[in-house]
Amino acid sequence: MEAWVQLSKHMFAFAETMSLRCAVQLGLPDKIYEHGPLTLAELATKLPIESVNMDRFEQTMRYLVHINLFTTTTNHHEETKYELTPMSRLLLSKIHNNKSLATFVMGATDPEELFVSGRLVESLGGSKSCWELQHGVTMSEKMKNDNKWSKVSDAMNGYTLNMIDAVVDGIKRESIIDQSVTTLVDVGGNTGIAAKAILNAFPHLKCTVMDLLDVVENVPKDPQLTLVAGDFLSSIPNGDVLLLKSILHGYDDDVSMTILNNCKKAMHPTRGRLIVVEMVLDMETMPEFSHARLGLAMQMMLIGGKERTKKGWERVIHMAGFTRYKIVPIAAAESIIVIYP
Ligand SMILES: C[S@@+](CC[C@H](N)C(=O)[O-])C[C@H]1O[C@@H](n2cnc3c(N)ncnc32)[C@H](O)[C@@H]1O
């Protein structure tokens, strides 16, 4: 019986994914946040649906309570009302929570992505990722052509905003940045969210954000940041500290080695340091993140990237000619990997 219970948890995992997506799509967390605890009938009137099928809606809400996205309380009139939980607060839209994970969840639960995962067996037998098998091109090629980048960028910004304080705390705790370094380059820094958070903690730094021309052209000007268009596969602007956050997990070891080599050329030969923020799959600290780490690793594998274990990181760091590095655990699924010249 226990085995059946475990099996059904995995077999019906789609119910979690799709009901979660439905909750975000309907903006349920916002409705409850804006109007206070609501009964099923009250909540139904707030939906962007003309005629709600109350039976299906009730079943969906029952499941969302089951996975703890919402909770219910019953008052003395025997009315059951839905309330937010800490998890649904993460899914409030940006107007109510500037660290909203709603866009990230919409990206991660996209039904198109589920079709991609249907190619897993095929991808195990060849060199192409599930994504390439499904779409015929790599993910970055498709993004460029379909102009989908702004959505991905929005999702990534939410994710980064959500965990960047943990990165800053780790940098402070281990004194990775001190007064001896004065310049920082956020390589593939998108709109500069990580760079800005680090700058707030270390105001003596001069920060540069480097990203592709299309991205840089659309980033609102910010007097605190210097924006530079470039390609990290070719060269990277010089800096004392380089930040590579959520970049290397998008590439295999050979391309990662090219990027790390370019960082090596760009970082100061003595006081330089490279701050890589990525997951270390077999990290013993913060084991509560294991499920997220392994799930994200599967997602990266499907789209053609690669999360790494400690050994995997050591291999690619050594391949790039670095010898000194340290893994710093932080209160997030990711860790900081500081690499010295
Ligand atoms: C997954 S996002 C990470 C963004 C940011 N570092 C963060 O963690 O929020 C990858 C970033 O790398 C940028 N990028 C991709 N290929 C690049 C290249 N060849 N040169 C420079 N930037 C690139 C993308 O435009 C995007 O902003």
Q: What is the pLDDT along the chain (341 residues), one digit of tens a residue?
A: 999 999 999 999 999 999 999 999 999 999 999 999 999 999 999 999 999 999 999 999 999 999 999 999 998 888 999 999 999 999 999 999 999 999 999 999 998 888 899 999 999 998 899 999 999 988 877 777 666 666 778 889 999 999 999 999 999 999 999 999 999 999 999 999 999 999 999 999 999 999 999 899 988 889 999 999 999 999 999 999 999 999 999 999 999 999 999 999 999 999 999 999 999 999 888 889 999 999 999 999 999 999 999 999 999 999 999 999 999 999 999 999 999 99
- Set out the domains of the chain in order of their start, with CATH numbers: 2-92 (1.10.10.10), 148-339 (3.40.50.150)
Ligand 1: centre distance to CA 263 (Å): 14
> What residue owns the CA closest to ligand 1's atom 9?
160
Ligand 1: centre distance to CA 91 (Å): 24
Ligand 1: centre distance to CA 215 (Å): 9
Which DSSP string do the residues of 60-116 spell out, in sequence order? HHHHHHHTTSEEEEE-TT--EEEEE-HHHHTTS-TTT-TT--HHHHHHHT-HHHHHH
How many C-beta neighbours within 10 Å does residue 25 have?
A: 14
Ligand 1: which of 104, 144, 232, 249 to mutate, most ligand atoms within 8 Å of CB? 232
Strand order in the sheet with 225-229: 225-229, 206-211, 183-187, 241-245, 273-279, 334-339, 325-329
Ligand 1: which of 215, 258, 279 to mutate, most ligand atoms within 8 Å of CB? 215
> What residue owns the CA closest to ligand 1's atom 19?
231
The per-residue b/e assignment along 303-330, b for 16 or more CB within 10 angstroms, e otherwise, is: bbbbbbeeebbeebbeebebeebeebbb
Which residues contact ligand 1 via a Cβ below 6 A?
A: 156, 160, 188-190, 193-194, 211-212, 215, 231-233, 245-247
Ligand 1: centre distance to CA 185 (Å): 13
pLDDT at 146: 66
Active site residue: 96, 249, 268, 318, which one?
249
pLDDT at 210: 97
249 labelled catalytic: yes
